[in-house]
Amino acid sequence: MYVPLGRSATRVSRLWLGTVNFSGRVPDDEARRLMDAAVDRGVNCVDTADIYGWRVHKGHTEELVGRWLSRRGRRDDVLVATKVGEPMGEGVNDRGLSARHIIASCEASLRRLGVDHIDLYQLHRMDRSARWEEVWQALDQLVASGKVRYVGSSNFAGWHIAGAQEHAARRGSLGLVTEQCLYNLAVRHAELEVLPAARSYGLGVFAWSPLHGGMLGGALRKLAEGTAVKSAQGRAQRMLPRLRESVERYERFCADAGLDPAEAALSWLLSRPGISGAVIGPRDTGQLDSAMRALELELGEREHEELAAVFPPVGAGGEAPEAWQG
C-alpha cells in the first residue's frame, strides 16, 4: 500500500487522491466526503495544483483542500502535493517557471492551503524559457526556508528529467524525487524514455489519468446504457473514435474474464516496471472503493499477454532506441 516517495525516505500511498475534477464534476460537499473517505482507506496524499478549480476561479481547489485540512485538524496525516507553472493571471509573468513566479506562487499556494509547508511541490510542465540555474535557485530557497519539503515534476520528457537532475547535482541539491506523467493501457509512450530516465535518476513515477479520462472504465457499455459521464467528455471523447475497436476488444476481454474494466486497467498500470503509483480522480466513494480493490487485484501472465495484444506498446516495445529498431 505504501512506497517511498521516490528518492526520499518519506512513505506515500500507491494511490493519490487527485482533485482536478473538484469544483466541477465533483461538487465541494462531495469532494470533502471523498477526501475523508480516501484518508480513512489509507490514502495519505492529496494531489492538487494552483490552477485547479478554474471552473469557479483558479486556486479554488487549493482553498477547498485548505478548509478540509483545517477541519480535520490532523495535518501530519496527509501529504499535500500541489503544482506550479500554469497561467494564474493575465500578466506576462503570471505563469511559467521563473524564480519570480515560482516563489510568488508557492507563497500564494501556502495561503490558500492554510499550511506552513508543501510536502511535494511539482513543476506542472516544462518551461523552455527558464534556465535550470534559475529554477533550482528558487526551489532550493523554498526548501531551505522549510516551505517545501520535496520537489517533483509533471509532464516532463526524459531529457527534461536528466537536465533537471544534472543541474541539481551540481548545486548539491536532492533534485526531483517524483515525476507525474500520463500513462495507461492506451497511452504507453512513457515507456520509451520517461520511465527509463526516472529509474536512472531515482524518481518515483505516479501516473495520472490511469483510465484515460474514463475510456478504460467501461466507456462503451456506459455510453450504451446512457450512464457515461466523464468517459463521454474530454480526453476519452477525443481518443475513443480512434481506438473504438481496441476498447470494444478490451471490454469483451474484461467481461469474459469476469473483471471490472476500471479495476483491470488500474491493476495493469500498478504492475508496470518503474511505476510507483497512480493519481486517481474518483467522483464518488464507489469509484474510490473500486480503485482500492485494484490494489489487491493481480492479473496473470495470460491476461497480461491478452492486454498487450489489445493495446500494444509503442514500436517494438520496451525502451528507446531499441523500441524503434524492431
Question: Which tens digits make up the pLDDT trace of 294-308?
Answer: 999 999 999 999 999
Per-residue pLDDT tens for 306-326?
999 999 999 999 999 999 886
**Three-class DSSP category at 84:** strand
Query: Domains of the chain, with CATH numbers?
Result: 2-215+269-299 (3.20.20.100)
Cell of 31: 469532494
Per-residue pLDDT tens for 133-165?
999 999 999 999 999 999 999 999 999 999 999
**Residue 27 scores a pLDDT above 80:** yes
Per-residue pLDDT tens for 168-196?
999 999 999 999 999 999 999 999 999 99
Active site residue 52: yes
- Strand 2-4 vs strand 11-13: parallel, antiparallel, or unpaired? antiparallel
**Residue 231 scores a pLDDT above 80:** no
Average pLDDT over residues 247-255: 97
Average pLDDT over residues 93-99: 97
Annotated catalytic residue: which of 52, 150, 183, 250? 52
**Residue 225 scores a pLDDT above 90:** no
pLDDT classification of 24: cutoffs 50, 70, 90 = confident
Cα–Cα separations (whole angstroms), residue 316 to 115, 273, 308, 324 = 47, 17, 12, 6
Lowest mean pLDDT of 66-80, 232-246, 291-305, name the range.
232-246
C-alpha closest to that of 311 among 269, 276, 280: 269
